[in-house]
Structure 1
Amino acid sequence: MRFIEGGVTAPQGFTAAGIYCGIRKNKTKPDLAMIYAKVPCTAAAVYTQNLVKGAPILVTQENLSDGRAQAVICNSGNANTCNADGEEKARKMCEIAGKALGIKPQDVIVASTGVIGQVLPIEPIQNAAPALAQALSKEDSESAAKAIMTTDTQVKNMAVEVSVGGKPVRIGGIAKGSGMIHPNMATMLCFLTTDAPVSPEVLNKALHEAVSVSFNMISVDGDTSTNDMVSIMASGLAGGEPIQADTEEYKEFTEALIALCTALARKIAGDGEGATKLLVSHVTGAKSEKDARLAAKSVICSSLFKAAMFGADANWGRVLCAIGYSGAQVDMQAVDVSFASEAGSVEVCRNGAGVDFDEGLAKKILECGEIYVEIALHDGGYEATAFGCDLTYDYVKINGDYRT
């Protein structure tokens, strides 16, 4: 497997585009994205578990009930959530995209992101759709990735190529996410494409496997958003026999999907609102996979620990504290903790107690942009990795006036 250029347009059969239509106040940022497949695709998606769900989520769930889709339309700047006419507007977006592309509205995945509780103006989308469809290009995944961004500072646009059953298969993805990021699927928006031949059922199985170890292992601020979704469309244009579950081909495909989703998840965590550092919490030696995930996630969710990382303070006690309330079954007197980065590594805790360490070296390690928290539980054979970011003054500044 290797990472390649192209994003969602890297797989065979897909084009994409992003333009400014007039929803956002900032006219320098695109705010309407489209992805289109030249053939009908099998499709699957995973959605937020928040009881408050954006109207686009409900409409997409209906549209994907047959496991088929051919296009995505997504606006930024307005979440179309908690509005009396929300579902009507989401369906209208599908109709608008369908008309512009010459496909059925039911074959459109619709998404929105931005401010909650403000009525979505449909006219800008309707007026811009023909130009957006005309702008679709095999080389324009990045403009689509930019059009779905809200407070993101980095474009999240990636693809991988892998041999599946001896044939080259590509998987591409664009994602957005910076705030309201917390494990409980989906934790952001992500649109994936592939040219692999795969049924909706098998595609859904692979997607859930990938999400569980990637997007569900990130957190920025503990808030699970209302509009979170990860969707995937498969054109099948790579050729060959359909991938069957629990085969070598399935393993090859799913491992590549996991690699892509994990890379996008890291980008989301590192681009958290106001963040200056990516935090990677790696737990080994857990009694079960559940315990490993609980412990790893709890550390990167701790506001106290995140604040300490912003200040480059090796306050390892906050790591143990977070593990202690995580719900994981852990022998706290057997826990070892180290901090590591490109500047080196320093052990700060052994057998649940502090050890002497060089505070100067620790500070240098924690001043780097990517910090690893290595946690050894010495209680079993399971491990897990979670991704987060530091908590800075700018997070409060960004969210203090997000709506206004």
Structure 2
Amino acid sequence: MTSINPLKFIIPAKTEFASCTIYTKGNPSECPQPRLSKAYQGEIVYDSITQEATFFGPTQKACDDFQIDNCLLVKLSYYNLLKLAKNDSNLKGYLIDNGFQDTQNESPTNSTGINGANAENHSNNFGDILAGFVPVFGIVILSVIVAFAVKKLLGLSQSQKRVNRATGKRSRELAKQSASLEPLNFTLNPDALTLDKISYIITPLSAKIDQLSSKVEQLETDIFSLTQQLQTNSVKSLRIQGIASGGTPYPLETARQSSELLPLTVDLIKKAVATGEYFLISAHPHYFVSETPQSQQGLEDVKRFTIDGDSAQASSRTQSEFIAIPCDGHTYLIPNIVPNSTDPARTLKRHADRNNIYRNGQGANFLSLDELAVVEKNGDRYDLIRLGQIQ
């Protein structure tokens, strides 16, 4: 910008502008579009090279020297100045004295005396400039969108102060808005305005990415569940083959009856979980429990479980998450292995991934337990007192 003395000027309400930026304690915000919502008092500085002007509120020096917390910066194009000069003789004289060109050529009926042909010529020139600018601007916008998307996906961030420093001299020319200005919630410079618009475009894309991520996680869980089911079926198949090779029939009902004679031990409980054979523990007293909503949200001081029912109600407790089963003076917490209940391996993986109730192990089989989680009766509920460990 050339060194031309500023003119004291009150920029009217509803003034159109090329760009409008505002600082509020260094934070950028966008002016109301496409016109100013009210009048502002300040200074206007004309640039005879570009035939454009900048309005500073409250003063150019206050904004440039960062003497105040707030500053308004309005860029006025050649055509914006023509309209303002039409109704302001002081501004018109200031512009002419500083080399403003073609102020007499707006239209035959205008006070500036611009003839229609020249005005049309200006309009055509401006259209040609705009036509050449749009493709370039589109490429720039596309480049910024791609960069912004990559930045978001990689989790990168940088503060507004760093952005302001990077803009160098241009940032220092932008000051802060005066205390008398209306509440400011707009973007301060074209760069910030562009980022806001890009953010508006990126937000739905980010939401779609989150949805895809959620679907991938669900697919991973489903694959894991299928793997665990295949492993369990393999164990059962080997057992059936072993029985068949021995020539001794071993029907399922016989196995259930024989389980009544098996003493309950920690190893038997682990075996029931590993094979998914509920009948191994069905004859021994136990309770079906589920984690409370407050515990799931982390609002409890410990992991806490409600009692859904006892072993006599097994057929109707497929929705319960866990089984609490007393053994050797302790009550152990294992996933629900009642037929048709939620896959116990998925239950253990979900909690192990969050490092609660059961911890992850080194193996790939989540049904192979090293240590059983322990709970303790607390009124009509159970509290977790020791985490379990997956092998």
User: Which TM bucket (shorter chain)?
Assistant: under 0.3
Greater length-normalized contact order (CA 8 Å, ≥ 6 residues apart): 1
TM-score by length of 2: 0.19
- Which protein has the larger Cα radius of gyration, Structure 1 or Structure 2? 2
Q: Which structure: greater strand fraction?
A: 1
TM-score by length of 1: 0.18
Q: Which structure: greater helix fraction?
A: 2
